[in-house]
Amino acid sequence: MLAATFGVLLGIPVLRLRGDYLAIVTLGFHEIVRLVVENWDEVLKGPSGIPNIPKPGFFGVEMGFNASTTYLYYITVVLMLITIVVIRRLHISRVGRAWMALREDETACQAMGIDTTMTKLTAFGLGAFWAGLVGVIFAAKSSFVNPASFTFYESAMILSIVVLGGMGSIRGVILATIILILLPEYLRFLKEYRILFFGATMVVMMVFRPQGLISDAHHEYELESEPDDPLGKRGIFSAFSKTK
């Protein structure tokens, strides 16, 4: 809840920005927060961070290192499945359709009467809420966090995963995560050139397939007229979805 609150507070001053500028400003805020935390030793302990973070327990049962790691793995898998279900439900909800409309054309969104301010703040809040959940899992896994745990590289990697996989596509994001996490490891033989190769691959993707590896499935709606109403004055809607 604390992460969601800060997400909304971050969203308020950047409501007027769109597209790439919005991403740039949020990355800038990330660096500001990281530097403040790193240098405010009196209150936030700076580089010392938070040590000795306990592993998650199971109703008071004592577990060793291997057992707690396995338990944490299953917690992560369950959280991922819950995330996929929630995203699928949001995708077809009123809020999800407003998000997609806002992503495609903000001006048309406003013309259709959608409250763009509340829609953006909802997206910021929910995104930060989910990031907070993942942060708890990360802290429990590492047992120690400090500002060095959240550098610009991590933010750039997450943004690259979304762009490469395809915005709004769950399968695409999963595939891009596997590629971007494993690819640098398999390119270690290139030494200092592996990041250059990694960046070139991203540029090629943006040029030749900007929609990502797996594009989002768009929902289209057709107006079908009844047999005794050829002009469609009492038409009924039938919906189907397909991947473009």
Report yes or no: 167 and 216 within 8 Å, Cβ to Cβ.
Answer: yes
CA dist 7 to 124, 157, 209, 241, Å? Answer: 5, 20, 31, 32
Question: Higher pLDDT residue, 60 or 200?
Answer: 200
- Extract the tokens encoding 84: 């996929």
Q: What gap in Å lies between CA 32 and CA 219, rounded to an integer?
A: 39
DSSP 82-138: HHHHHHHHHHTSHHHHHHHHHHH-HHHHHHTT--HHHHHHHHHHHHHHHHHHHHHHH
Task: Tell me phi and psi for residue 86, to 5 degrees.
Answer: -65, -45
Indicate the pLDDT class of residue 242, thresholds 50, 70 and 90.
Answer: very low
Mean pLDDT computed over every residue of the chain:
78
Residue 213 pLDDT > 50? yes
pLDDT digits (tens, 9 = 90+) for 136-176: 888 888 888 888 888 777 777 887 788 788 877 788 888 88
Q: What gap in Å lies between CA 179 and CA 38, rounded to an integer?
A: 31
Q: What is the pLDDT at residue 66?
A: 79
